[in-house]
Chain A
Amino acid sequence: KAGVTQTPRYLIKTRGQQVTLSCSPISGHRSVSWYQQTPGQGLQFLFEYFSETQRNKGNFPGRFSGRQFSNSRSEMNVSTLELGDSALYLCASRLGTGQTDTQYFGPGTRLTVL
Chain B
Amino acid sequence: AQSVTQPDIHITVSEGASLELRCNYSYGATPYLFWYVQSPGQGLQLLLKYFSGDTLVQGIKGFEAEFKRSQSSFNLRKPSVHWSDAAEYFCAVGAVPWGKLQFGAGTQVVVTP
Binding site for B on A (CB under 8 A): 4, 31, 33, 35, 42-45, 48, 50, 55-56, 58, 90, 92, 94, 96, 99-108
- Contacting residue for B32 out of A33, A55, A56, A100, CB 8 A: A100
Chain B hits for A108, CB < 8 A: 42-43
Is A102 touching B46 in the complex (CB atoms < 8 A)? yes
Kindly state the separation between the CA atoms of A110 and B32 in the bound complex, as whole angstroms. 29
Is B32 touching A58 in the complex (CB atoms < 8 A)? no
Is B44 touching A42 in the complex (CB atoms < 8 A)? no
Q: A99-B32, A100-B32, A100-B51 are in contact. Are A33 and B99 (CB under 8 A)?
A: yes
Is B100 touching A33 in the complex (CB atoms < 8 A)? yes
Chain A hits for B106, CB < 8 A: 42-43
CB distance from B25 to the nearest CB of A (A): 15
Chain B hits for A50, CB < 8 A: 99
Is A105 touching B44 in the complex (CB atoms < 8 A)? yes
Is B43 touching A56 in the complex (CB atoms < 8 A)? no
Binding site for A on B (CB under 8 A): 32, 34, 36, 41-46, 49, 51, 90, 92, 97-106
Q: A100-B32, A107-B43 are in contact. Are A58 and B100 (CB under 8 A)?
A: yes
CB distance from A105 to the nearest CB of B (A): 4
- Contacting residue for B43 out of A96, A102, A105, CB 8 A: A105
Secondary structure call for the B interface:
strand
Secondary structure call for the A interface:
strand
Q: A42-B106, A43-B90 are in contact. Are A103 and B43 (CB under 8 A)?
A: no
Question: Residue of B at shortest CB range from A34?
Answer: B99
CB distance from A36 to the nearest CB of B (A): 11
Question: Residue of B at shortest CB range from A43?
Answer: B103
Question: Residue of B at shortest CB range from A33?
Answer: B99
- Contacting residue for A31 out of B46, B99, B102, B103, CB 8 A: B99
Question: Residue of A at shortest CB range from B105?
Answer: A42
CB distance from A51 to the nearest CB of B (A): 12
Chain A hits for B98, CB < 8 A: 99, 101
Q: A43-B90, A56-B97 are in contact. Are A90 and B44 (CB under 8 A)?
A: yes
